[in-house]
Structure formats: structure tokens, C-alpha cells
Amino acid sequence: MKPIALDAMGGDHMPQAAVQGALQAAQQGIAVILVGDETALKAELAKHRASIPIHHAPDTFGMHDPASEVRKRKDSSIVLAMRLVKDGEAAACVSMGHSGATMAAALLVLGRLKGVERPAILANIPLPSGFVALLDAGANADCRPAHLQQFAVMGAAYARVVYGKAEPLVGLMSIGEEEGKGNELTREAHQLLKATPGINFYGNVEGRDLFQGTTDVVVTDGFTGNVMLKLAEGEARMLLGLIRAALSRGGLVTKLGAALVRPAIRSVARKLDPAEYGAQPLLGVAGYAFIGHGSSEAKAVASALRTAHQAVETGLVEALSTDLAALLASA
Amino acid sequence: MKPIALDAMGGDHMPQAAVQGALQAAQQGIAVILVGDETALKAELAKHRASIPIHHAPDTFGMHDPASEVRKRKDSSIVLAMRLVKDGEAAACVSMGHSGATMAAALLVLGRLKGVERPAILANIPLPSGFVALLDAGANADCRPAHLQQFAVMGAAYARVVYGKAEPLVGLMSIGEEEGKGNELTREAHQLLKATPGINFYGNVEGRDLFQGTTDVVVTDGFTGNVMLKLAEGEARMLLGLIRAALSRGGLVTKLGAALVRPAIRSVARKLDPAEYGAQPLLGVAGYAFIGHGSSEAKAVASALRTAHQAVETGLVEALSTDLAALLASA
């Protein structure tokens, strides 16, 4: 397999986390090209006495730069990383940087798959066992019903190929189970999804269904999806923090018990840690592109590279293409 | 103070939970009128050898009856309970039943406060210390920017009067901190909120801010708010379940530790239990109306009655009226 192009500059802990993450991935047989400032990357590699191919990029997107600048900033690490994919020198692009800029760069350089009006970010939400695919997790704040239909087809293909579910169930996020419940967008989308061939439409799901694993895929607009994703992360952090505080604030008996249960609680925290799955695919662009958390450390970078590697191996983009073509043909 | 009218029929565990909850409230000096089927209520009261005033209602809304039937079903327990408030026989109305029907009955019987186009459901979201007020939590699936402005004014008045915050911070739920981030609704609402006198507008907040207590009030449309509320409840249940499972699945050492820390974990679960705060106010109707969980048991009914009692004592509706009048005057 071709190497994975890693935007080694975008993110809070770059380029250190990129270099360390790439070294961890290399130990698992995953080849990487680091895209970023050559001098900084060489210095970082020297610390580890390691060697990884570097593709020099003189420019880096800051977290507060407008994504619209992507067109002008052709020498930025994110645009050059996408370019390596487009030119066939890399199998996939991974960035922990500015997600709007990553999306814009993917659209600009890779373009869209046929049948997709709006590519979406898919978030793998961890459940007690396995994951649920939530999309759109933030790429499109305002959506039309047809966008949600395309998300449903892409999410189902993803769950089939990546989760290995033969007939993944697709739910539409709403605020009531009955098809008449919801807002204008979901009421129209419900009718469209009911009539979509090739997907296994469950109907409406509610917020509480997400963590019950009622469906394998949950489709929503990028505003709601992004609010959900960040709410879920914030709540897990708050709750685990409350439990740790309650255990350490208690008397001697509680403290003794806390010492004994710490590994069990750590295993729960790890199960819910975004660093475990590392990056979210951008579905609907003509190539493999992944967006990770800006706060990613080396471990999350390595997970992201592994996630990208596995997606390429399963032929995700080819599966998406086929299913989107079928949707177009049925319209 | 006048008694509180309790819809004793709407909900999963009625009328048992209503009668038991009213008896618990009575012990705290809160007077109640039970509204519902006289025969069923008398039989239930007889079991407890207790006496509570009953207002007979021959009809009850089922959870799947359309809320639009409220107009025709004037003898239903929820409509008659609202009527007692309107007629000055009760100080507030509390229902654990069909929330759409409760909202419709409140609008029909009590009407709206001046300056309110759309009343909203306010959810008290428990934090490690205190609460954050989230509105709209589900009454209005589609909203316009002016509705969010009215929610902001009402939410601020609520946090001042009920939470006792002198200058409550109001946040707008969005998907990025910058004012240009979000969907069409939030971008317009941001501009309106910035220019709203009498509120302390923080700016945009994100999903993760909710549980950090970044602001005292979080304003959003009823679709997003309802998804958030149910997601938060579902995640808390999932996470606490995972932790309990991890503790009971472990070896002897973990099991010993689990026995020692159980009270500390139970205290966290209790802090996050909706039964602790019992009911959500319907803000913007011309009177005191509260909606509780359909699954409420006696304890949650008693909490709801206490919540309603406290709101009446603080003069919440008068405060809302005053602030809404000021908003109208400034327009």
C-alpha cells in the first residue's frame, strides 16, 4: 500500500505528536509521509534518531484562519497533503488541524464523488460494544433532505465495510419516534429515507437511542451532529471526573475501595476515549481524507493513521462510489 | 399559597405515583388537588388511608393521542388541571403526561405572556455544582431568531429568580465560538442577542460547554435542545451502567473495592438523576405550568410539586412578564 500523508503541522501538539505518532504507526507496518516544515520535522526526527520521508510545506493553517483561504494557500501543509493523495503518491490524508480547512482542501483538491452534494464528517461514537456511526458530525451546518439521504447511503456503506455489518440499520435523529415528529428537515427526510432503496431504514431515533445502539448509523444535519458529538465528549469527561472526585474525596474506606477499582474505571474511560479511534473520515470526497482532534497526542495520531490504513484496505471509497451510483440510478 | 393542581392520570405510573407523590409533598407542607378519575383516585387514597382534595376528570390523554385533540377534550385531566390555574383555584399545574398535550393545554387555557411568540420548555441540567438552564428543550422544533431572543430573556429571568444568579450569563448553542460559526438560525440569533438589552450575553457556546457550566443559561431551538436533553440522559445511564458492569465483572479485588465505593458512585448517580428536580417549567405561558418525565415515580412527582411550589414562591411568572415587557419596549 502507498504511504499515508500526515499533515504534521496542524493541531495543538505539532509537529511532536505527528512525528511520534508516525513512529508508532511505523512499528505496526504503516508507512507515512510527513507533510510540513522540513527544518522543524528534521529536528524532531533527530531527537528520536529516526527517519521518515518528509514532504516540505512552507505554510500552515492556524486554528483561527478562515477555511476559505485554502484556495490561496496552496503551499499549506493540509493542501499539499491532499495533493499527494490526488497525485497518487499517498493512499490517504490525515490531519489533526483546522477541520474546516481540511474539508475545504479535500473538496478543492480531491473533489466530490458522483452523487454527493455535500461531503460529511462521520464520527465513530463508542458504545459498550462496538460503535455507532454519526453523520454529519459538523461539515454542513444547514442541510436539505437530499443531503441527509446521501449521508444515509454513505453511512450504511461505511458500517457495512468498516464495521462489518451485513445490513446496517440506519436511523434518522429526531425528537419523537413517529414519522410526523421532528422539524421540517427531518419530516421531509423521513419520507425520502423511507423510499430509498438499498438502505435498511429504521425510522426516527431520539437522543437517548445513540448510546443504546438502536441503529448502526445515525443521520442528522451537521449542526445537530456537531452539538451531539461535543456534548457527548463533554459529558463523559464531566461524569468520569465526578466519579474520580467522589472516590478521592471519600473517607479511608472509600479511598481503599477506589484504589482497588481504579483499573476497572480506567478501562471504561479508555473505551470512551476519542484517542482510541483517532480520526473521523470525510465521506463523499473522491479519496481518503481523515480529520482528527486538534488536541491529539502521539497515541491519537497513531490511531488515526491505523484508522486510515484500515479504511484504504477495506476499499471504503470504492464501496461509497458504487452505492452512490445506485442511488443516482434509482432517482 | 393556593394548592397545586396535579394531573393525576398522565404518565406511566399513574394514578399510584401521583397519590404517593402528593402525600410526600403534603408532609413538606405543599397542598395539592388531584385531577383525574375520582373512583380510581379515591381507591388509591383509601390504600394509604389518606385524604387529598380531588377534582374529577372523566378523560385522560394517552401518550400517543395527538396533542391537537386538546381543544375537543375539555374534560381531560390535563385541560381541567390548567383550568383550575386559570380560574384561580390552583397556583400551578404539574403533569407527568403527554408533553405536547400539556403544552397545548397551557396555550389554550392560560394563553401566552405578552411579548412571547412561542413558549419554551426549560430543562434544568445538573452540573457538578448547581444547574444550567437549557431552553427550548423540545416545545418548538423549528424556531426563528426572534424566538431564541425571547428564550434568552426568559432563561435569564429564570436563572436570576430560581437559581439566584444576580447577572446570569446567557450562551447561544452553536458549533464554534466565533460569531460567524453555526447555522443560519444561530448566525442571525447571535446578532440579535448581542443587541438585546437586559441580558448578559456570553456569545456562542458548544456542546462541551453545557457540562462545564460555561454559562448559566443555554439557548437553542427545540429540536437541538430536545436531542441534547435525551442524549445527555442516555449517556449518563450508559456510562454509569458501564462502570457498574466493570466493577461487578472484575475479580475479587475489584469486587471488594466496588463494595467500598458503591455509596460514592450512588451519590454521583443521584446528582444526575432527573427525579431529583422532577419537572421542567413551561416558560412564556401566562401561569405556572410544569412538565415531568412520563416515567416518573412518586419521588419525582414530589420533587416536581416542590419545584412548582418554589417557582410560585419566587414570583417567576411576574419576573418573566416584567422582563418581556422591557424587551418589547426596547424593540
Residues 110-169 of B with CB under 8 A from A: 127-128, 138, 141-142
Residue linked to cell 510527513: A34
Residue B279 lies in a domain: no
Residue A89 within any structural domain of the chain: yes
What's B263's domain CATH number?
Answer: 3.40.718.10
For B1, which DSSP code? -
* pLDDT reported for residue B313: 96
Q: Is residue A278 part of a domain?
A: no
Asked whether residue A35 falls in the same domain as residue A168, the answer is: no
Clarify whether residues B27 and B134 are in a common domain.
Answer: no
Q: Is the pLDDT assigned to residue B178 strictly greater than 90?
A: no
Query: What is the C-alpha separation between B60 and B44, in angstroms, rounded?
Result: 17
B chain contacts of residue A256, beta-carbon cutoff 8 Å: 257, 260
Q: Tell me which of A163-172, A314-323, B138-147, B250-259 is least confident.
A: B250-259
Residue that the C-alpha cell 397542598 belongs to: B31
Contact B315/A at CB under 8 A: no
Taking CB atoms and an 8 Å limit, are A257 and B254 in contact across chains?
no
Output b/e per residue, A243-278; b: 16+ Cβ within 10 A.
Answer: bbebbeebeeebeebbebbeebbeebbebbbbbebb
Tell me which of B250, B274, B298 is where a domain ends. B274
Looking at residues A47-51, what average pLDDT do you find? 94
Contact at CB, A211 and B240, closer than 8 angstroms: no
Ordered alpha helix ranges (H), chain A = 16-27, 38-47, 77-86, 99-109, 145-161, 184-194, 222-249, 252-271, 298-314, 316-330
Closest partner residue to B243 (CB to CB) among A224, A226, A243 is A243
Position A57 scores a pLDDT of 97
Q: Are residues A13 and A53 in the same domain?
A: yes
Q: Is there a single domain that holds both residue A200 and residue A293?
A: no
Q: Please tell me which residue, A244 or A298, carries the higher pLDDT value.
A: A298
Q: How much is the ipTM here?
A: 0.93
Same domain, B107 and B17: yes
Can you give the pLDDT at residue B128?
Answer: 84
pLDDT for A167 equals: 95
B64 phi and psi angles, rounded to 5 deg: -110, 5
Model pLDDT, residue B288: 98
Lowest mean pLDDT among A37-46, A59-68, A201-210, B273-282: B273-282
- Examine the domain organization and report whether A291 and A201 are in the same domain: no
Tens digits of per-residue pLDDT, A82-104? Answer: 999 999 999 999 999 988 899 99
Q: Are residues B83 and B68 in the same domain?
A: yes
Confidence of residue B174 (pLDDT cuts 50, 70, 90): very high
Q: Does A250 touch chain B (CB under 8 A)?
A: yes
Task: Label residue A146 by pLDDT band (50, 70, 90).
Answer: very high
Distances (CA, A) of B243 to A196, A295, B55, B212: 39, 26, 45, 22
Whole-number pLDDT of residue A242? 87
CA distance B261 to chain A (A): 5
Report yes or no: B210 at the A interface, CB cutoff 8 Å: yes
Q: Are residues A232 and A328 in the same domain?
A: no
Which one of A237, A261, A270, A295 makes the best mutation probe of the B interface by having the most chain B beta carbons within 10 Å?
Answer: A261
Is B330 a domain residue?
no
Percent of chain A with pLDDT over 70: 99
Average pLDDT over all residues of chain B: 93
Is there a single domain that holds both residue A1 and residue A69? yes
- What per-residue confidence (pLDDT) applies to B173? 98
Question: Which residues, numbered 281 to 300 in chain B, qualify as contacts with chain A under a Cβ-Cβ cut-off of 8 Å?
Answer: none
Number of inter-chain CB pairs under 8 A, A vs B? 202
pLDDT higher than 80, residue B175: yes
Question: Would the pLDDT of B64 be above 90?
Answer: no
Are A230 and B246 within 8 A, CB to CB?
A: no
Is the CB of residue A261 less than 8 Å from the CB of residue B257? yes
Do A76 and A5 share a structural domain? yes
How far does the CA of residue B234 sit from the closest CA of chain A (Å)? 4
Best of A134, A223, A262 to disrupt the B interface by mutation (most B CBs within 10 Å)? Answer: A223
A325 — contact with chain B (CB < 8 Å)? no
Residue A261, pLDDT > 80, answer: yes
CB A53 within 8 A of CB A33: yes
Q: Is residue A276 part of a domain?
A: no
**Would an 8 Å CB–CB cutoff place A184 in contact with chain B?**
yes
Q: Are residues A146 and A193 in the same domain?
A: yes
The count of other CB atoms within 10 Å of the CB of residue B24 is 17
Quote the pLDDT of residue A103.
Answer: 93
| Residue-level pLDDT at A41 | 97
Residue A111: its pLDDT value, please? 97
Distances (CA, A) of A73 to A67, B301, B309: 10, 60, 61
| Ramachandran category for residue A182: left, alpha or beta (phi over 0 → left; psi -120 to 50 → alpha) | left
pLDDT band at B295 (very low <50, low <70, confident <90, very high): confident
| Half-sphere exposure in the Cβ direction for A252 (13 Å, CA) | 0
For residue B262, what pLDDT is reported?
85
All three cell numbers of A203: 425510522
Classified as helix, coil or strand, B59 is strand
Q: Is residue B309, in this structure, part of any structural domain at all?
A: yes
The predicted structure's pLDDT at residue A277: 66
The mean pLDDT of A120-137, rounded to a whole number, is: 93
Residue A218 within a domain: yes
Q: CA nearest B262 in A: which residue?
A: A254
pLDDT exceeding 90 applies to what percent of chain A? 78
Which chain A residue's Cα is nearest to B137? A175
pLDDT reported for residue A247:
82
Domain tally, chain A: 2
Question: What pLDDT, in 10s, does the model give residues B89-125?
Answer: 999 999 999 888 999 999 999 999 999 999 999 999 9
Please give, rounded to a whole number of angstroms, the shortest distance from the CA of A137 to a CA of chain B.
10
Query: What pTM does this model have?
Result: 0.94
pLDDT digits (tens, 9 = 90+) for A54-69: 999 999 998 888 888 9
Q: Contact B239/A239 with Cβ under 8 angstroms? A: yes
Q: Rounded to a whole number, what is the distance in Å from the CA of A138 to chain B's nearest CA?
A: 8
**Residue at B257 is within a domain:** yes
Q: Does B43 touch chain A (CB under 8 A)?
A: no
Are A167 and A248 found together in one domain?
yes
Parent domain of A161: 122-271
As given in the structure block, the three cell numbers for residue A164 are 462489518
Distance from the Cα of B263 to chain A's closest Cα (Å) equals: 8
Q: Is a pLDDT exceeding 90 seen at residue B35?
A: yes
Q: Do B234 and A259 touch (CB under 8 A)?
A: no
Interface test with B, best of A103, A188, A231, A271 (most B CBs within 10 A): A231
